[in-house]
Amino acid sequence: MKVGLKANGDMETPSFGRAGWYSKGPKPGEDGPAVVIAHVDSKTGPDVFAKLKQVKKGAKIQITDKAGVTYEFVAQRSQQTAKTALPAKQIWGKTDGPALRLITCGGAFDKASGHYLSNVVLWADEA
């Protein structure tokens, strides 16, 4: 599903059980970093990116679009950062061809706010 920006400038999040492509950037397979975001879990259990933090360098990642075309990427690295320090320039920076950025929540969970304090970002390049 497509996601954009909220009125406050934060990225929208998809519904639980779904991944969202940031529609203001490249689509997977186009030149540049396609960004896909999903939840790590919910009150009822694991969600789409529950195992994102466990993905190792060299792992293959496939994304299939609505037309049935599959794009393949190779994981390069991942990083966990405070939500207040999301490395936006690295995520949306210039790439040499198609690239993929997967983003979810991680780190400590703040029970008072009901949110994680960090994000996990995985960088992948076209296979």
pLDDT at 66: 85
2-126: CATH architecture: Beta Barrel (2.40)
Mean pLDDT of the chain: 95
User: Phi, psi (5° rounding) for residue 33?
Assistant: -85, 110
Residue entry with tokens 């966990």: 80
Write out pLDDT tens, residues 7-36: 998 899 999 999 999 999 999 999 999 999
Write out pLDDT tens, residues 30-86: 999 999 999 999 989 999 999 999 999 999 999 998 899 999 999 999 999 999 899
What percent of the chain is predicted at pLDDT more than 70?
A: 100
pLDDT at 27: 94
Neighbours of 16 (CB within 10 A): 14
Every domain of the chain and the residues it spans: 2-126
